[in-house]
Amino acid sequence: MLIGMMGSGKTAIGKSLAARLEVPFLDSDHEIEAAAAASIAEIFERDGEAFFRDRETEVIRRLLRGAPFVLSTGGGAWLAERNRRIIAASGTALWLDADLELLWERVRHRATRPLLRTADPKGTLARLLEERAPLYALAGLRVKGDPRFSIADMTDHVLRTLAAHPDILEPAR
């Protein structure tokens, strides 16, 4: 499971990682949107964040019942203790840790981030990063992002981290 802030590369790295590992890639936000027939922004606006977070937990629980795959979660999914327990019971969380400037560069031109629809979106992003980092640090693994890395470079970095923990990539017996 890939966790981290919006813009940390969970989807891009997740797709690349899944291709390299020859397993499916799933994105919990996309699964929520498909189930709701609405975008994340629309769900937030129509039903509120609490409703969205409940659906997020339901989707993560359902997805983790399947065969091995790479899962990208929404930036806030890991914050809920219930989600951390579900993820820990079913796999390993890997935090894609990116600093504020890298995150801002990646998200500043995207209108699809409901939590950044504020008067000071970069300040909001900084606050979210500061609040969330201690919880992300609870993940079993961490890979630090580097703005010089391509998607392939970052995927290589993730694979090296996973290789240091062979029990993660070995099939269950």
As annotated, the binding site for Mg(2+) includes 11
H/E run at residue 71:
strand 70-72
| Short-list 82, 84, 87, 57, CA closest to 71 | 87
Which token pair is 122?
A: 């970069």
Binding-site sequence positions for ATP = 7-12, 113, 148
SS (H, E, C) 137-164: CCCCEEEECCCCCCHHHHHHHHHHHHHC
Q: For residues 11 and 102, is the Cβ–Cβ distance under 8 A?
A: no
Which sign does the torsion angle of CA 69, 70, 74, 80 carry?
positive
Binding-site sequence positions for substrate = 29, 53, 75, 132
Binding-site sequence positions = 7-12, 29, 53, 75, 113, 132, 148
DSSP letters of 75-112? TTGGGSHHHHHHHHHHS--EEEE--HHHHHHHHTT-TT
Residue 27 burial (CB count, 10 A): 20
